[in-house]
Amino acid sequence: MPGIAHLIQEFIRTLPFFMKPLLLTFELTIASVIVGTVIGLLVALLKVSRIPGGQLLANIYITLIRGTPLIVQIFVLYFGFYKVIDLGQFWSATLALAIHSGAYIAEIFRGAIQSIDKGQMEAGLSLGMSSAQTMRRIIMPQALKRSIPPLGNQFILSLKESSLAAFIAMDELFSLARRLSAETFDEMTYFLIVAFYYLLIVMVFTYFVNRMEQHMAKGDS
């Protein structure tokens, strides 16, 4: 186990090397969260809709994605489709993370939508609004507020899962830690350092999620 002094010394020495992978991890996480949220919302709306076959398609997607490992999904997108379309490392990892998290986000949105009193849909229809208008103007704003805490947890999971991009040689945080460990044979030091970076990013994400929850709570009061 490395000493505290050695850890601090190596943290300071390698700080410039970790800046680019740190930024890349941020970009990967944010891009996958945005795309995954869009996918999840669309799948959730499909699941609660009355479109013929809509629920079946949504359930198939959710079952397939939740039933297979993320690392397999990354490999399928990166190695399986490069002959048809070369997505590159960044977008292969981003889309795999987005598709993976989208299945869980869909269930979060679906639960939030179905938690809204059905009388509100009936009230919107009685005021002359269509089902789509009632969903957009009345149901979804309330459902989005209720989704914030579980969505925050899912975003943090996506951040930590981004470390799997290292297995397609993407130069993110975990990949650099593995490379430094192989070069110096000081594995524990660099894995502890990279753990600190992930902890730092998670704390930043948690702060913003908590601020968003507080803002939503003030809006309700």
Whole-number pLDDT of residue 102 = 92
Its pTM stands at 0.82
| Short-list 164, 196, 187, 180, CA closest to 28 | 164
Q: What is the dihedral of CA 36, 30, 168, 67, to 10 degrees?
A: -30
Q: Is 169 exposed, middle or buried (0-12, 13-18, 19+ CB in 10 A)?
A: exposed
Domains and CATH numbers, the chain: 4-220 (1.10.3720.10)
Residues 75-94 have pLDDT tens digits of: 888 777 766 777 777 888 88
Q: Give the position of tokens 């209720």.
A: 146
How far apart, in whole angstroms, are the C-alpha atoms of residue 182 and residue 209?
A: 36
Q: Summarize the confidence of residues 9-20 as an average pLDDT.
A: 83
Q: Give the position of tokens 């981003």.
A: 94
Residues 170-221 have pLDDT tens digits of: 677 778 788 888 777 877 888 888 888 888 888 888 888 888 777 776 655 5
| Short-list 159, 191, 188, 157, CA closest to 175 | 191
Side chain identity at residue 169, one-letter code? A
| Short-list 61, 18, 30, 67, CA closest to 171 | 18
